[in-house]
Amino acid sequence: MSMKSLKIVTSKTLVLPAANIDTDQIIPARFLTVTTRDGLGKHAFNDWRYNDDGSETDHYLNSDEAKACEILVGGHNFGCGSSREHAPWSLTDYGVRVVISSEIADIFRTNAVKNGLLPIVIDKRAHQWLLDHPGEEITVDLENQEVRLPKNGGTFSFDVDAFSKHCLIEGVDEMGYLASQTNAIDAFEAKR
């Protein structure tokens, strides 16, 4: 699967400040009976966005402004819970390309990078600034591993696994690399 290359994203931020936003909030389990990965954006944060009768709530996530944001800033420990890759699938389909938090759950983070979605764990001060300034236009520069904030917010570096960075920038997935390890895998199996 080839993915869209991600180098620099400049966008207003969509801020969801609650701590521990879990995968059941990102996409409730009743939408997981699908056998494809497409079109899940309409169910992103489903129970925040829709009333029981299916009509839209007045949640900010339903606004055109929110839907135009490519950078989501979440509260601490974003994406905790299940291994459902439907969570990043729904976010990318909604239009998100970068998720920033002070902590991001392991499986969500692993799933995100495999779908062209950059998860950034950032310094607590920068995180607080982002929570305090929803909707500001910021720049995420993956090549230089920097988040640049306007209005004297400053510039903050972030860590990213070198291999994930390569995959995101080149828009390639990991299967190709794994498949290239076949000889090593054969040898490993042979010596056990």
Partner 1 sequence: MAKSLFDKVWERHVVTDETPSNPSVLYIDLHLIHEVTSPQAFTELGTRGLLVRRPDRTLATIDHSTPTLIDADGHRPYVTAQAEKQVETLFENVEKHGIKIHGWDSPNRGIVHVMGPEVGATQPGMTIVCGDSHTSTHGAFGALAFGIGTTQVGHVLATQCLLMRKPKSMLIQVEGELQPGVTAKDVILAIIAKIGVGGGTGHVLEYRGQCFDDMSMDERMTVCNMSIEAGARAGMIAPDQTTVEYLRGREMVPEGDALDALAQEWLSLRSDPGCDFDSIVTMNAAEISPMVTYGTHPGMAMPITGIVPAAADEAEEKALEYMHLKADAPIAGTKVDRVFIGSCTNSRLDDLRAAAKIMRGKKVVADVTAIVVPGSEQVKLDAEAEGLHDVFTSAGAEWREPGCSMCIAMNGDKAAPGELVVSTSNRNFAGRQGPGARTVLASPETAAAAAVTGFITDPRTLETAA
The span from the CA of 57 to the CA of 48, in Å, is 7
The span from the CA of 178 to the CA of 156, in Å, is 33
Kindly state whether residue 34 participates in binding partner 1, applying the rule CB under 8 A.
Answer: yes
CB of 131 to partner 1, least distance (A): 11
Looking at residue 57, its amino acid is T
Question: Which residues ranging from 56 to 115 are in contact with partner 1 (CB under 8 A)?
Answer: 75-77, 80-85, 88, 103, 105-107, 110-111, 114-115
CB of 65 to partner 1, least distance (A): 23
Query: Which is nearer to partner 1, 97 or 109 (by Cβ)?
Result: 109
Q: What is the enclosing helix (H) or strand (E) of 132?
A: helix 124-132
**Residue among 32, 160, 169, 172 that touches partner 1 (CB under 8 A):** 32
Kindly state whether residue 184 participates in binding partner 1, applying the rule CB under 8 A.
Answer: yes
Residue 17: which of 93, 129, 113 has the closest Cα? 129
Interaction site with partner 1 (CB under 8 A): 1, 17-20, 22, 24-25, 28-30, 32-37, 47, 52, 75-77, 80-85, 88, 103, 105-107, 110-111, 114-115, 161-163, 166, 173-175, 177-179, 181-182, 184-185, 188-189
